[in-house]
Structure formats: structure tokens, C-alpha cells
Amino acid sequence: MDRSYYHYWRRLQYKLRVQYILEQSTGRTSQKPLASHVQRAIAKENAWTTNVPSVDSVLLAWVPCQEPSAAENDPVIIASVVQQKWKGLAIKSFEGKGKGVIATMEFKRNQVVCDYHGEVVSKQEGERRLETLTGEPSYLFFFKGKGGKPLCIDAQKFPCDCHPDQETYGRRMNHSCSKNSVRPQRVSLKFLDGPRECVLFFALQDIAVSEELLWDYGVRRTSFQGEGWDLS
């Protein structure tokens, strides 16, 4: 084998392993991982006998997540929310789990991917609407708005009244708590008619073309005061 190809492969393998360990060490949090967490994640990879990343190289590769305030006045992001014309995304059908979202272009870590689009209502109204659902999937996103005010984004209606001919990507992304590639973040976007509460999805790591976008719904078996044990 040509040594140049071998060394290229080794560098690429090292880079991918650093990224993998970083993902395992940080999870959903935006805080810099502890060296002990990085060391623990590396130790779990027993099959890695050579070309093993060092703790220092993983910590140096960590980049702080983009502050939500950086998106508040971004005209491209605001226009994308209004028009629901996000670039680099497509809907794909997956056997066994229905539709999902894939990337059609590369996304860099911390880059805004799309939003969770729907009608913003109070938490109480969202809970009332949730109770009316009988056996159908829920597309209600509960979150805390500015000042900790509990709110809900209702994306249940499809297509929505404001974009009757378009698919909105946020509601189509599937769940994973271990392989999630994007994270939701509340942002108060400054529209011409005033600020609006929005939830944007930021890339947790570099995302490749054709990769499925997944996020952690935050629901566990212990959710809903233990009633989650009855959920499939």
C-alpha cells in the first residue's frame, strides 16, 4: 500500500475517533467535558489498540456551542423561519420507522439546521390540546420561554396554515438519546414586528451528507411521574 494513503487513513481515523469520544463525553450538554469523562469514554473502546486519541487532543477539539444570542438578529435564520425554506435538508422514508430527515449538504458543529415550526401557545393550552389526541402521534414541543415562562409549540396540524404546500423539517426528525446529532435551543428572534419565541436545532457535531438528523426527545421510562413505563 502507498504509505501516503496509509498515513491519510490513520489521520482520518484519529479525527473520527476524537469526534466520537467528544460526542460520548458531552451528550446534550453545551459545557466542556471533564477530562475524567473523556478518559472513561476512551477506556470503553477496548478494540482500539493503536491510534487511540489522547485526552488532551479530545479536549482541544471541543468548541463551545454557538450562543443563541448570535442567531437573534441573523437575517438568514429569520428568513428561513418565516419562509420555511431551510437549505440542505430532505425528507426520507425509513423502513420500519416511517419518515425522517437527512442532510443533503454538510453541516458544521454548532450550525443552525432548522427550527421546530408551529403555533406557539401557553403550556396550559398545549396540555389541553394534548389531552384531545387519541392514539395519534404528538407533535407538541413544551419548553421554557424567556424568563422561564412555560410555552408549547403546536406542530400537530400538517400542513400548517401558514405553509400549506411545504413540509416542515423539525417535526419530522426522529429520536435518539445515544446517536443524536442536533439539539434544540430556545431563541428569541427579533422579527420586524417584534421578538418571537422560537426553538432552533443546532448541530451537535459535524454532519455528513446523507446522514439522518436525530435529536433527543427527552422522554424516558421514568417520565410523566413514572407513567412512561407504560409507553411503547
Domain assignment of residue 102, given as a range: 68-230
The pLDDT value given to residue 96: 81
| One domain, residues 95 and 46 | no
Output phi, psi for 22, to 5 deg: -65, -40
| Number of domains observed in the structure of the chain | 2
The pLDDT value given to residue 102: 96
> pTM for this structure?
0.67
Distance (Å, whole) CA 143 – CA 117: 13
Reduced to 3 states, what is the DSSP secondary structure of residue 226?
helix
| One domain, residues 111 and 213 | yes
pLDDT digits (tens, 9 = 90+) for 130-139: 999 877 788 9
Distance (Å, whole) CA 111 – CA 225: 35
| One domain, residues 112 and 225 | yes
pLDDT digits (tens, 9 = 90+) for 140-172: 999 998 888 999 999 988 888 888 888 899 999
182-191/174-175 β-pairing: unpaired
The pLDDT value given to residue 223: 47
| One domain, residues 78 and 40 | no
pLDDT digits (tens, 9 = 90+) for 193-214: 888 899 999 998 899 999 999 9
Domain boundary among the residues 45, 61, 77 is at 61
The pLDDT value given to residue 164: 83
pLDDT digits (tens, 9 = 90+) for 81-125: 999 989 999 999 988 888 999 999 999 888 899 999 999 999 999
The pLDDT value given to residue 50: 93
| One domain, residues 221 and 124 | yes
| One domain, residues 109 and 54 | no
Torsion of CA 176, 182, 187, 191, to 10 degrees: -120
The pLDDT value given to residue 15: 86
| One domain, residues 143 and 189 | yes
Distance (Å, whole) CA 197 – CA 185: 11
Helix (H) or strand (E) holding 77: helix 75-83
pLDDT digits (tens, 9 = 90+) for 25-72: 875 455 688 999 999 999 999 999 999 999 999 888 876 655 666 778
DSSP string computed for 38-62? HHHHHHH-TT--SSPPPHHHHHHH-
The pLDDT value given to residue 68: 61
| One domain, residues 215 and 144 | yes
Average the pLDDT over 73-77 and give the result.
Answer: 87
| One domain, residues 49 and 81 | no
| One domain, residues 116 and 51 | no
